[in-house]
Amino acid sequence: MLNDPDLSSPPKVAKYNHSAVKKVLYAGFVVIVAALSGLGGALAGGVAVYRVLDKRAQSTEYAQLIIPTETPVPSQSLQLSSTTLESGITSAVEKIGPAVVTVYATVPGSVSFWGQMPDQQVSGSGVIISEDGYIITNNHVVEDAKSVSVILSDGTEYPAQIINTDVYADLAVLKAEGAMPAVAVLGNSDNLKTGETALAIGSPLGDFKNTVTVGVISATGRMLDTGSGYTMEDMIQTDAAINQGNSGGPLVNLAGEVIGINTVIVRGSNSTSTVAEGLGFALPSNTARIITEQIIDKGYFARPTMGIRWQSISPQLASRYNLSVQYGAYVLQLMEGGPASAAGILVDDIITKIGDNEIDADTSFVNALYGSQPGTTVPVTVMRQGETVTVDVMLGETTSN
């Protein structure tokens, strides 16, 4: 705090204070003027910038530069994409749904310690492929069935006849008598791309009819070891949920076309306790089309045959019996007058190659054989007493059921 002025002091003290005050006031005035000048310059600059931006805002090219950050921009493209996807799924379901059926099969009861068990009813799914009532499903759904029936999407039930099956593709063709509500279109499975949307439609557990699950095409060209001496090839992998009862139902694209027949799910491996989810596999529609058309036309699907009984060779068997090859088909017996016998193949020969298909860890004898058509002549390579021999075999024709 300043001391009170001493009134008894000489006048020069007052004069000295007056001069100091003037200097302070002058300095303050300069500062204020400078500040006002700076503020005026800023305002003027702001107005100039605003005018420039305002002019630019009149053109399309710069309009997006002045959108206030306080106002979020709607993600129109994302919303449109989501809406389009949902609309596509809904449209595909409306198109294919009426052509999906539930398949019920009555199979003989097994014999147990307690005697003959009663007949059992199993269920699966299927899809109508013609107005005449032809229906595709899996072979394992109707295998050994005493009777079969199908229930349409509207609840109508028809008895169905098994026209024929193909075990190796796990495919069966049924025929139901009655008016069909819709017919599914078989798409081109060769055009599938990994990541595209896929819908699985069927009747899980036989109760939840026309259940729709959505996923993607996880992969194509998958191979599955059936454990029965052959591999299912060129399978479609999807993560769309497939459960017991979905077997034989369609895998569908957004165009509402059948791109596969849902066949199997994999929950884990025999060599590990790890449980997997989202591993479903479907038979490609192009394969289903070839087999189905021939069954409808000829009553059966022809597979090539060599007329032999054989034993698959693995590296373990080769090591145990000191064989000269790691993979192949050991000829145990020849059918008299059969293709292999007629071509000069002998018992104890080991078949290692059929046509261009070599038998190895990835290709079984059956798959190598089924790479050729019945009635064609193919070179067959065999290992005979340590020597490689090639003979020409005209393949016969047989059914796989």
Cβ(150)–Cβ(104) below 8 Å: yes
Give SS3 for 15: helix
Residue 215 tokens read as 């996923």
Q: Which domain holds residue 224?
A: 185-289
- By annotation, the residues acting in catalysis are 140, 170, 247
Is the domain of 213 the same as that of 263?
yes
Give the CATH number, domain containing residue 269: 2.40.10.10
Domain assignment present for 134: no
Nearest to 212 by CA among 247, 242, 171: 242
Tokens 């293709």 -> residue: 339
Residue 245 tokens read as 């009862």
Q: Tell me the pairing of strands 197-202 and 157-166.
A: unpaired
Residue 119: phi and psi, rounded to 5, are -55, 150
Domain assignment present for 155: no
The rounded Cα 339 to chain-centroid distance in angstroms is: 39
Is the domain of 346 the same as that of 392?
yes
Is the domain of 198 the same as that of 263?
yes
Is the domain of 322 the same as that of 242?
no
Nearest to 180 by CA among 98, 260, 241: 98
Task: Among 226, 257, 289, identify where a domain stops.
Answer: 289
Is the domain of 192 the same as that of 273?
yes
Task: Among 289, 311, 330, identify where a domain stops.
Answer: 289
- Other C-beta atoms lying within 10 Å of the C-beta of residue 74: 8
CA distance 176 to 140: 18
Helix or strand (DSSP H, E) at 89? helix 76-96
Domain assignment present for 168: no
Nearest to 259 by CA among 187, 205, 317: 187
Is the domain of 280 the same as that of 313?
no
Domain assignment present for 222: yes
| Residuewise pLDDT in 10s, the chain (401 residues) | 333 333 333 344 344 444 444 444 444 444 444 444 454 444 444 444 344 334 433 333 322 323 233 333 343 333 445 677 778 899 999 999 999 999 999 998 877 777 777 889 999 999 999 999 999 999 999 999 999 999 999 999 999 999 999 999 999 999 999 999 999 999 999 999 999 999 999 998 777 888 999 999 999 999 888 888 888 888 999 999 988 889 999 999 999 999 999 999 887 665 556 666 778 999 999 999 999 999 999 999 999 999 999 999 999 999 999 999 999 999 999 999 999 999 999 999 999 999 999 999 888 898 899 889 999 999 999 999 999 999 999 999 987 66
* Overall number of domains in the chain: 3
347-352 long-range Cβ contacts below 8 angstroms, 24+ apart: 348/384, 349/382, 349/383, 349/384, 349/389, 350/313, 350/323, 350/324, 350/325, 350/382, 350/383, 350/384, 351/310, 351/380, 351/381, 351/382, 352/325, 352/327, 352/328, 352/381, 352/382, 352/383, 352/388
Domain assignment present for 239: yes
Q: What is the pTM of this model?
A: 0.70
Domain assignment present for 126: no
